[in-house]
Amino acid sequence: MEKEGSRPCGRRGRRGGSLAFQREVWQEMEFEKVGPQVDFPALEREVLGYWEEIGAFRKSVERRPVEKPFVFYEGPPTANGRPGFHHVPARTLKDLIPRYKTMRGYRVERKGGWDCHGLPVELEVEKELGLSGKKDVERYGIEEFNRLCRRSVFRYVDDWRRMSDRMGFWVDMENAYRTLDNTYIESVWWALKTLHERGLLYEDYKVAPHCPRDQTSLSSHEVAQGYKDVVDPSVYVRLPLRDEEGTSLLVWTTTPWTLVSNAAVAAHPEVEYALAERGGERLVLAAELLDRVLGEGSYRVVSTFQGRELEGRKYRRPFDYVPVEETENLWTVVLGDYVTTREGTGLVHTAPAYGEDDARTGRAYGLPTIHPVRPDGTFDERVGPFAGRFVKDADKGLVKELEERGLLFKAEEHEHAYPHCWRCGTPLLYYAKRAWYARTTAVLDELLRENEGINWVPEHIKWGRFGDWLRNNVDWALSRERYWGTPLPIWRTESGRVVVVGSREELEKLAVDPLPDDLHRPYIDRVRIRHPETGELARRIPEVLDVWFDSGSMPFAQWGYPRSGREHFRRQFPADFICEGVDQTRGWFYSLLAVSTMLFGKSSYKTCMALGIILDAEGRKMSKSLGNVIDPWSLFEKQGADALRWALCTASSPVNTRRFSEEQVDEAVRKYLLTLWNTYSFFVTYARIDGFDPERDRVPLEQRGLMDRWVLSELHATIRTVTERLDAYDVTTAGRAIQDFVDELSNWYVRRSRRRFWKGEEDTDKRAAHSTLYECLTTVIRLTAPFTPFVAEAIYRNLERGRAGAPESVHLADWPEYREELVDEGLLERMEAARRVVALGRAARNAAAIKTRQPLREVVVVADERLRGNLEGLEEIVLEELNVKELRFGGREDVLRYALKPNLSAVGPRYGRLVPGLRRALEEVSEEEARRAASGEPVTVEVEGKKVTLQPEELLVESGPREGYAVESEAGLSVALRTRLDPELVDEGLVRELVHKVQNLRREKGFEIEESISVSLSAGGRLRELLEGPWGEYFKGEVLARELDLDGGGEDALAVDGEEVRVSLRRP
């Protein structure tokens, strides 16, 4: 669309009277003046002040009915770290959908929340205090340590508030839930007691993922978040059979340190094993792995047998550092169906202390748990020279000892994914210990059932990333041997009896000691109770709860349920919508589902949007070390939050892994926001000039013209698309549909209708144009409001605020109503045909390097009957847009010429030496023959006195524009412009070029769009002749000149068709 001021409005004589009188009238107009230049960040700051002034967010909730809720859960961030760019995408979507649903009439209460507990907080405080590990914390003092943890969790709350406000994220932070509050803790206690009563909470001694740095267990979903590729030793070890000298079992491991605790070797009962002789020794391993492990041709197979035949064979342990009382099955071959032959030797070294499969096998065979590793991951004093060393650091020394003792067969390096602590980055150990578990496996069928009912966006997450992992569910390790967290409400007597307490009130009845105000450690640790049945004294176990259970309890705990908030919980459960990054599939998404299914038998959310990972422009992860992290504040203050939100939603789908760059934000400003703003500015400019009132001057639909009916059809088709796609949580397609419409509104409707706004007379046609553009703009700002809330508000305040029935904010307004009767599909198809012709015509003009202002004589359209019929009645639009005098329909032969060549791969083998003659003969065929060949007919030529008929497959047909035409084609449509210029066309092009240059000069000089001017210019030759003749009035009308002096010259020099023209513009 041409920007405001590109063409003055022919205002003379419209109202009569002086310019002073006209300006006085304009000052009374309702719309405030709007310029094409806009500072979006400044505009957004102004809108933020307005929202605060009117209480917009509060009203957006309160004005919607309680009985029509749309429930949204805010995933609680931890405020002991500053918010960054990686938080912006989710907060954009978590604002967009609730705004949309609010406009659809739903009450969307958006309660904020803070995740206050857990290792992230503890590690930050440890770092600040210079502490390293649990011993340091306990020496420092749990009470003071937890006091600092409590203080640190709200350190950056103001930063979170500022960023949320600045990006337009509406959420209730004044009444946010906090996982550290006693009311929240009590709700979690109730949940744990309920699980215990249902047999879903239990204690067990088993192998669990363990962080040696933080000295605590991790749950399986935490482990899933911390895998890293590492290089570990890969060792093949001989374990000599006791009853067969010179024969060894060959085992493989990537954790040599666990060989200290070896208790057995596992074989698969159904796998075929071999006794192989190599270099004077005999080795036992899986038959199918012989070549891979021993080397092809380097061994002789002595015998083969099934794995079950190995059961009970005794061998010598690899290390005897740890004294163990020998039992029946200790250091023997045992059977396990988990053994595979995908890697290793098919014989698995088994240490029940350090592997889940190992522990199960150990229980089945009564094996002891040989456990010389301390909680900090170091060997204890029993492991001789390795005592006090971190186990993985001891690998090299242990391998060397194996080599010295002749037990090492070979050592290599092995790259594989290994789990690390998701918070501190330490390699995890699988470690036998006592812990408390939630029996999630008992509700696995229910979890799978509920997952099937969840609307996952994108859909593939359901049975992909989330579902695959869910099927392999293991019981949830809940207890953490840490300090800052929800204390497990479990008290134990000396005889081992357990009491699980469900509330403060219940605790008070059982307590021997006074209850503290703060339910955290160490205060709660001092409270002893009496067992309600035996009267025994009981003390609380020291562990705290996995922080993921905290956040997974927010649907009920945020209300203090069940002791309070029952009605709130009833109305706000389950959530209709949650949204976080895809990394939360095994974090918050899982904990929400697991907790809710165990307690209530159903999922706590209906739709889950999982956002993809954002990479930098080169496809790399954003990290401080790479220096490629984007600062959201720089974008807010340079391009604005609306531009960033728009780019995040429309540049590519937010649910995909995608590249992101600042250029995408620039593009959002350039291609969308400025196009919308310029269209709005254009409307306001002419509405003010004409005193247009949307109610008084509204023209009924049946009195509006073709362009109005077309754009309203497009508008309502867009309403339909946007509504359907947002209902499906497809924000990208919805946003792009809005952008496409704004482009059509600006670059087709306004472009085609601008003379209706410019003309001096007040008539129905002009008022229809005003009415239509007003309706389009007021609808678009509602459609875009969830995406770009600031610019939508700014435009709304000027166009609608204060009108009868209009709420004070666009975000309090209703969503546009789709009216099917306004969508004329036939008209849409016809206009699309015209626009296709225009687009190809412009491309042809560009290819011929002819300026748009230079008129041409003819455009030829080659199309099928349907498209020709669609263009009927729209020819004038095509002619005006292409600046062409005449339009005619024709055939391809009218605009294209064909050249024929032999297809050498087909004719070469057949005609041999005749090929050069064929080439010459084809160059001389008539146009008619060439056209027939292009339509698939054979061609007959004469070569060396012989008639040769070439079939279509033996011919190459090349096409090009006929001389004097520029042609562009696409999908069965060809458009040709006649490029030859006659003198009349040259003259008109010359004047149009001058008009264009003077229009630009008007803008530079600061003349108002409606202001008349006097023009003095010095022009010689043909240009002067034209202006002295009939083109003079045309020129004056276009530039709104009352006077034209051709002898005056001026201070400004314009280049017109290579000649200098001196021009002076002044007020009359």
Give 69-93 pLDDT, tens digit per residue: 999 999 999 888 889 999 999 999 9
Angle between the 764-784 and 731-744 helix axes, to the nearest 10 degrees?
160
Cα 429 to Cα 213: distance, rounded to the nearest angstrom: 10
Q: How confident is the model at residue 184, as a pLDDT?
A: 98
Q: Stretch 445-459: mean pLDDT, rounded?
A: 97
- pLDDT tens-digit readout, 653-689: 999 999 999 999 999 999 999 999 999 999 999 999 8
Most confident of 123-137, 163-177, 882-896, 959-973: 163-177
Which residue did the predictor score with more confidence, 627 or 996? 996
Can you give the pLDDT at residue 641? 97
Q: At 328, which amino acid appears? A: E
User: For the residues 19-28, what does the mean pLDDT come to?
Assistant: 35
Find out whether 597 and 90 touch, Cβ atoms under 8 Å: no
Contacts of 632 (CB under 8 A, 6+ apart): 84, 85, 88, 163, 167, 644
Query: Is the pLDDT reported for residue 425 higher than 80?
Result: yes
State whether residue 457 is helix, strand or coil.
strand
- Spot the catalytic one: 76, 77, 654, 855: 76
Which sign does the torsion angle of CA 277, 279, 284, 285 carry? negative
CB neighbour burial string for 806-822, b if at least 16 within 10 angstroms, e if fewer: ebbbbbbbebbebeeee
> What whole-number distance in Å separates Cα of residue 288 and Cα of residue 274?
9
- What integer pLDDT is reported at residue 701 of this predicted model? 93
Whole-number Å distance between alpha carbons of 777 and 746 = 11
* Catalytic residue from among 95, 115, 550, 987: 115
More confident residue, 445 or 896: 445
- β-strands 955-961, 614-615: how paired? unpaired
Q: Is 621 a catalytic residue?
A: yes
CA distance 137 to 132: 8
Give the active site residue among 257, 331, 422, 548. 548
Is 70 exceeded by the pLDDT of residue 28?
no
Residue 624 labeled ligand binder? yes
pLDDT at 24: 36
> What is the average pLDDT score of the chain?
91
Percent of residues, the chain, with pLDDT higher than 70 = 97
- In this model, does residue 97 exceed pLDDT 90? yes
Residue 12 has pLDDT above 80, yes or no: no
Instruction: Determine the Cα–Cα distance for residues 209 and 418; give it in Å rounded to an integer.
Output: 12
Beta bridge partners of 1044: 1015
Tokens of 644: 């960033």
Question: What are the distances in angstroms from CA 537 to CA 496, 499, 527, 540?
Answer: 11, 11, 11, 10
The yes-or-no verdict on residue 235 having pLDDT over 80 is yes
Say which of 588, 646, 748, 1031 is annotated catalytic: 588
Using pLDDT thresholds of 50, 70 and 90, give the confidence band for residue 758: confident
Q: Are strands 227-240 and 247-253 parallel, antiparallel or unpaired?
A: antiparallel
Catalytic residue chosen out of the listed positions 320, 517, 624, 700: 624
Give residue 202's identity as a one-letter amino acid code. Answer: Y
pLDDT at 22: 35
Residue 589 pLDDT more than 70?
yes
Residue type, 557: A
pLDDT of residue 700: 95
Report the pLDDT value the prediction gives residue 908, as an integer from 0 to 100.
Answer: 84
% residues pLDDT > 90 (the chain): 71
Beta strands in 642-706 (DSSP E): 658-659
Q: Residue 906: pLDDT band by 50, 70, 90 thresholds?
A: confident
Kindly state the average pLDDT of the residues 775-794. Answer: 98
| Amino acid 649: pLDDT | 97
Pairing between β-strand 272-278 and β-strand 300-306 as defined by DSSP bridges: antiparallel
Q: Would you state the structure tokens that stand for residue 486, as one six-digit string?
A: 């929800």
pLDDT over threshold 70, residue 9: no
Question: Is 115 a residue of the active site?
Answer: yes
Which whole number is the average pLDDT over 992-1013? Answer: 88
Nearest to 115 by CA among 633, 592, 605: 592
48 CB burial (10 A radius; 0-12, 13-18, 19+) = middle
Q: Coil, helix or strand for 1032? A: helix
Task: Please determine, for residue 11, whether its predicted confidence score (pLDDT) is greater than 60.
Answer: no
* Res 18 pLDDT > 60: no
Residue 430 or 315, more confident: 315
pLDDT at 922: 87
User: Band of the pLDDT at 17, cuts 50, 70, 90?
Assistant: very low
Catalytically annotated residue among 127, 410, 621, 946? 621
Residue 27 annotated to the active site: no
Is 513 noted as a catalytic residue in this protein? no
**Nearest-angstrom CA–CA distance, 812 and 108:** 12
Copy the structure tokens of residue 462. Answer: 């359901």
Q: What is the mean pLDDT of residues 845-855?
A: 94
**Which pLDDT band, with edges at 50, 70 and 90, does 21 fall under?**
very low
How far is 940 from 1024, CA to CA, in rounded Å?
59
Whole-number pLDDT of residue 488: 98
Asked if the model's pLDDT at residue 66 lies above 80, the reply is yes
pLDDT band at 111 (very low <50, low <70, confident <90, very high): very high
Containing H/E element for 509?
helix 504-510
Residue 816 half-sphere exposure toward CB, CA atoms < 13 A = 27
Q: What is the pLDDT of residues 406-416, one digit of tens each?
A: 999 999 988 88
C-beta separation of 24 from 771 below 8 A: no
Catalytic-residue membership of 181: no
On the question of pLDDT at 552 being above 70, the answer is yes
Catalytic residue among 558, 572, 584, 739: 584
3-state SS of 806-866 is CCCCHHHCCCCCCCHHHCCHHHHHHHHHHHHHHHHHHHHHHHCCCCCCCCEEEEEEECCHH
| Residue 13 scores a pLDDT above 60 | no
Q: What is the pLDDT of residue 250?
A: 97
End-to-end C-alpha distance for the chain, whole angstroms:
30
What's the pLDDT tens digit per position in 162-191?
999 999 999 999 999 999 999 999 999 999
Whole-number Å distance between alpha carbons of 105 and 99: 10
Would residue 257 show up in a list of annotated catalytic residues for this protein?
no
| pLDDT exceeds cutoff 90 at 1 | no
In the structure encoding, which two tokens stand for residue 863, read together? 């199309």
d(CA 275, CA 244): 12
With vertex at residue 995, the alpha carbon angle to CA 989 and CA 998, rounded to the nearest 5 degrees, is: 145
759 is catalytic: no
What's the mean pLDDT in 995-1013? 87
515 three-class SS = coil
Under 8 Å CB-to-CB from 738, ≥6 apart: which residues? 718, 722, 780, 783, 784, 787
For residue 487, which of 528, 544, 547, 540 has the smallest C-alpha distance?
Answer: 544
The mean per-residue pLDDT over the stretch 29-38 comes to 84
Q: Which of 95-109, 207-221, 769-783, 988-1002 has the lowest mean pLDDT?
A: 207-221
- 15: pLDDT strictly greater than 80: no
